[in-house]
């Protein structure tokens, strides 16, 4: 292993930033892929793999990808929720690999909601 | 590093490792592979999470879900339910004692959210075996700043301004100690980390020591560890090797021109070697015995060279003081005791473990909020602050802030940072006796007050416990204890009397009960108690009879039971088992009375039988 310089310290820190974003929860965007039985059957795992692959490829470090159970709208699976900090969460439905990549690039990175895939914006009311 | 959707942190502290976390990790890895989730989910070990009694602990990020008491058979469920379907496993969540509902998020568990993490800021978050993860959490940034941007004087100034006090025993200002060592001219200087017993991440200690070495101009450092802590030794060795490979110890660190060598020194588990001069003797291959001071080690220490000795926790605070400044450090804690303190919380509490709290927090808050209050059915009696030689503090002082000054007023010490809570099941006299027995064993024998004095005190306490003491013995003990405290050579003898002095001060009535009434109300001192069953309250469930190792308890089902005093060995099992408060503890004299009554009853019964015949 080479001897470190101060720049190396910074480089190592950058490399690991993504991992710690996940652990500390300090992400700018949280993408939830709904993985109920319905979601998995409809191909949610492929959506998840595509998403993680692209995020790693682009080296994005401020995004958390996580899973949750069935969102209740089984006919619209696979679904994903994009939750940008301080914005109301947006649910997308009937996704495929191309759609999730577009959502990642336009909504998550670009900040512009991909209207044509949107199912609903906001959360259900819970008592 | 890959971006995973979930990071699973499995506690790799000593406790959780003993609880099987290594096997759980293997099973998790296998399960994750079987489900084809390798690219999505990362599992790794971390430093001690501090929640040891609930271990093995598993934390799942980014969900912040904490699982407690995880076992091998839970692994498939966690993978299937949580990792695949995103549903936390309710059964394994931490539950508050009074409630049945599990708390899913680590941020909502009082044990964790009342703590202020500085020295332990990476606990449960990073892999202690990975220098890269440490660097990712700002690791070695402070060393870089100290070596490249600051002069030794500037380092000492910021440490002094921060008001950081030695986290060992006496609470001396760390900056002042460094300043004195730096001011002495010598061909060589040393820096030593005393007793790596706290499971903080190893690189934090190394970084703190590099900064300290730069400040005083030391070229060689030692981390003094006990051989009784093999996991810590293993981790430190690995960390030292990683740091050496990265050139963070050795010659010309980070191209700064500063050279520093650091080694591990493993010694046997001698308690007295926590004292700095005894520690120095031990490193110099001599018997671990303290030396009179002055000269202080900062002037004449290891091999007669200026030597700074700080504890693990002190060094663990240094990097963040350098990075964030003195004012930041002072933002928590009190004026004279700034910062945080790590405590080992134990005793009759719902939550115990390793905690870090702001200085100045009250004992009540530690016990009730973090500790979750006393376990069901127990009432508070005292809290011992400062480890095995700390004093016992009673209920009325629980609102006292935990600072160096306040704690000392109570005949207690911050010391090694132990807080143990005693309940109504503890006898204060035998608790004091227990700690004195420890001091007798651990006294190195060099100075007479400690060597002879502790033994005499133990004899006197034995008399109280056996019921042969007189009231005068209390005053004799108090006098002698004060003399030992004032004349012992080192901290061992000086603090060993705290348990005796504080129990006599706050729990004198308990001593008097032992001496005059021959009654140990907690039922600990076997000679001074009689266990009997309250016939009004006993419902005859038979639970006590089942746990009695001597089969001394008998009785018909659903009828009041009875203890045969000639068989009873006062083990207290029945007392702790009874759910109906039917077991009582009486003074010693009751034993004879009960036996007499029993004999009378037997004779009565026999006569009746004869008459009937």
Q: Residue B484 has what pLDDT?
A: 96
Judge: B6–A61 Cβ closer than 8 Å, yes or no: no
Residue-wise pLDDT for B385-413, tens only, equals: 988 888 999 999 999 999 998 888 888 88
Backbone angles phi, psi at B389, to 5 degrees: -115, 25
pLDDT interval class at A25 (50, 70, 90): low
Residue-wise pLDDT for B1-49, tens only, equals: 567 888 899 998 888 988 999 999 999 999 999 988 888 888 988 888 8
Would an 8 Å CB–CB cutoff place A94 in contact with chain B? no
Residue-wise pLDDT for B156-212, tens only, equals: 999 999 999 998 777 889 999 999 999 999 999 999 998 755 667 889 999 999 999
Burial of B400 (0-12, 13-18, 19+ CB in 10 A): middle
Q: Residue B222 has what pLDDT?
A: 95
Q: Residue B253 has what pLDDT?
A: 94
Question: What percentage of chain B reaches a pLDDT higher than 90?
Answer: 64
A with B: how many residue pairs have Cβ under 8 Å apart? 108
- With CA atoms as reference, the chain B residue closest to A36 would be B85
Shortest Cα–Cα distance, B334 to chain A (Å)? 29
Cα(B14)–Cα(B23) distance, integer angstroms = 14
Which residues make Cβ contacts (< 8 Å) with residue B297, sequence separation at least 6? B276, B277, B280, B306, B307, B308, B309
Residue B168: asked if its preceding bond is cis (omega within 30°), the reply is no
Of B2, B86, B136, the CB nearest to A20: B136
**Residue A9 contacts residue A3 (beta carbons within 8 Å):** no
pLDDT interval class at B104 (50, 70, 90): confident
pLDDT at residue B129 above 60? yes
Judge: B135–A67 Cβ closer than 8 Å, yes or no: no
- With CA atoms as reference, the chain B residue closest to A2 would be B246
Average pLDDT score over residue span A37-62: 85
pLDDT at residue B597 above 80? no
Angle at B498 between CA B366 and CA B480, to 5 degrees: 165
Shortest Cα–Cα distance, A2 to chain B (Å)? 6
Q: Which residues of A touch B83 (CB under 8 A)?
A: 67
Residue-wise pLDDT for B314-363, tens only, equals: 999 999 999 999 999 999 999 999 999 999 999 999 888 889 999 999 99
Judge: B3–A27 Cβ closer than 8 Å, yes or no: no
Of B353, B360, B356, B355, give the one whose Cα is nearest residue B333.
B360
Cα(B186)–Cα(B217) distance, integer angstroms = 10
Q: Residue B12 has what pLDDT?
A: 87
The one-character DSSP state at B514 is I
Q: Which residues of B touch A61 (CB under 8 A)?
A: 3
Q: How far is CA B142 from CA A6, A14, B62, B320, in A?
A: 11, 17, 28, 7
Residue-wise pLDDT for B202-239, tens only, equals: 899 999 999 999 999 999 999 998 888 788 888 899 99
Would an 8 Å CB–CB cutoff place A71 in contact with chain B? no
Residue-wise pLDDT for B246-287, tens only, equals: 999 999 999 999 999 999 998 876 888 888 899 999 999 999
pLDDT at residue A53 above 80? yes
Average pLDDT value over all residues in chain A: 83
pLDDT at residue A67 above 90? no
Q: Residue B457 has what pLDDT?
A: 97
pLDDT at residue A48 above 90? no
Q: How far is CA B2 from CA A34, A59, A126, B79, B136, in A?
A: 22, 9, 36, 20, 14
Judge: B136–A18 Cβ closer than 8 Å, yes or no: no
Mutate to test the interface with B, among A1, A2, A3 (most CBs of B within 10 A): A3
Of chain A, the end-to-end C-alpha distance in Å amounts to 56
Judge: B133–A69 Cβ closer than 8 Å, yes or no: no
A24-33, B389-398, B490-499, B546-555: the lowest-pLDDT one: A24-33
Shortest Cα–Cα distance, B6 to chain A (Å)? 7
Q: Which residues of A touch B63 (CB under 8 A)?
A: 66
Angle between helices B174-183 and B202-216 (to 10 degrees): 40
Cα(B317)–Cα(B330) distance, integer angstroms = 12
Would an 8 Å CB–CB cutoff place A16 in contact with chain B? yes
Q: Residue A125 has what pLDDT?
A: 55
A18-22, B78-82, B464-468: the lowest-pLDDT one: A18-22
């Amino acid at each position: 292993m080479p001897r470190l310089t101060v720049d190396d310290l910074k480089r190592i820190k950058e490399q690991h930033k993504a991992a710690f974003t996940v652990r500390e929860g300090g992400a700018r965007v949280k993408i939830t892929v709904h993985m109920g039985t319905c979601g998995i059957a409809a191909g949610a795992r492929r959506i998840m793999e595509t998403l993680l692959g692209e995020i790693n490829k682009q080296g994005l470090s401020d995004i958390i990808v996580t899973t949750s159970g069935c969102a209740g709208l089984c006919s619209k699976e696979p679904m994903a929720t994009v939750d940008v900090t301080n914005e109301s969460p947006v649910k997308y439905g009937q996704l495929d690999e191309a759609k999730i990549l577009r959502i990642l690039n336009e909504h998550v990175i670009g900040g512009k909601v991909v209207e044509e895939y949107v199912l609903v914006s906001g959360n259900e009311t819970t008592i | 590093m890959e971006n995973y959707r979930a990071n699973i942190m499995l506690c790799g502290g000593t406790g959780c490792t003993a609880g099987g976390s290594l096997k759980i990790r293997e099973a998790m890895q296998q399960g994750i592979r079987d489900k084809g989730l390798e690219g999505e989910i990362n599992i790794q070990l971390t430093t001690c999470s501090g929640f040891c009694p609930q271990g093995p602990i598993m934390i799942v990020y980014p969900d912040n879900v904490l699982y407690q008491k995880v076992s091998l058979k839970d692994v498939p469920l966690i993978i299937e339910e949580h990792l695949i379907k995103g549903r936390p496993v309710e059964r394994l969540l931490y539950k508050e004692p009074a409630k049945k509902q599990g708390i899913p998020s680590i941020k909502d568990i009082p044990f964790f959210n009342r703590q202020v993490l500085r020295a332990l800021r990476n606990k449960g978050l990073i892999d202690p075996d990975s220098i890269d993860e440490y660097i990712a959490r700002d690791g070695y940034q402070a060393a870089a700043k100290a070596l490249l941007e600051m002069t030794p004087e500037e380092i000492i100034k910021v440490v002094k301004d921060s008001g950081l006090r030695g986290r060992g025993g006496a609470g001396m200002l760390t900056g002042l100690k460094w300043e004195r060592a730096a001011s002495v001219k010598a061909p060589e200087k040393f820096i030593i980390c005393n007793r790596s017993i706290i499971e903080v991440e190893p690189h934090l200690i190394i970084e703190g020591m590099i900064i300290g070495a730069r400040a005083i101009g030391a070229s060689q450092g030692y981390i003094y560890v006990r051989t009784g802590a093999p996991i810590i030794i293993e981790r430190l060795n690995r960390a030292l090797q990683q740091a050496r490979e990265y050139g963070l110890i050795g010659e010309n660190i980070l191209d700064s021109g500063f050279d520093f060598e650091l080694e591990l020194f493993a010694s046997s588990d001698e308690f007295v070697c926590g004292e700095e001069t005894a520690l120095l003797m031990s490193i110099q291959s001599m018997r671990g015995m303290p030396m009179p001071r002055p000269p202080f080690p900062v002037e004449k220490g290891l091999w007669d060279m200026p030597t700074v000795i700080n504890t693990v926790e002190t060094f663990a605070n240094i990097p963040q003081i350098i990075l964030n400044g003195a004012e930041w450090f002072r933002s928590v804690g009190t004026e004279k005791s700034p910062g945080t303190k790590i405590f080992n919380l134990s005793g009759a509490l719902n939550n115990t473990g390793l905690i870090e709290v702001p200085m100045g927090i009250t004992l009540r808050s530690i016990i009730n909020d973090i500790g979750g209050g006393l376990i069901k059915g127990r009432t508070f009696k005292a809290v011992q602050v400062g480890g095995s030689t700390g004093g016992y503090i009673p209920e009325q002082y629980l609102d006292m802030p935990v600072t160096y000054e306040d704690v000392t007023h109570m005949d207690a010490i911050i010391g090694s940072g132990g807080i143990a809570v005693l309940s109504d099941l503890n006898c204060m006299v035998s608790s004091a006796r227990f700690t004195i027995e420890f001091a007798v064993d651990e006294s190195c024998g060099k100075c007479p007050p400690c060597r002879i004095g502790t033994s005499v005190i133990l004899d006197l306490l034995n008399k109280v416990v056996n019921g042969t003491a007189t009231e005068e013995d209390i005053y004799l003990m108090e006098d002698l204890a004060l003399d030992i405290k004032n004349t012992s050579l080192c901290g061992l003898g000086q603090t060993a009397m705290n348990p005796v002095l504080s129990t006599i001060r706050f729990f004198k009535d308990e001593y008097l009960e032992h001496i005059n009434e021959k009654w140990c109300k907690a039922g600990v001192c076997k000679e001074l108690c009689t266990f009997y069953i309250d016939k009004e309250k006993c419902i005859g469930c038979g639970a006590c009879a089942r746990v009695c190792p001597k089969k001394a308890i008998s009785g018909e089902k659903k009828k009041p039971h009875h203890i045969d005093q000639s068989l009873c060995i006062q083990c207290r099992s029945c007392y702790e088992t009874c759910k109906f408060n039917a077991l009582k503890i009486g003074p010693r004299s009751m034993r004879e009375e009960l036996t007499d009554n029993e004999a009378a009853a037997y004779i009565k019964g026999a006569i009746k039988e004869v008459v009937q015949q």
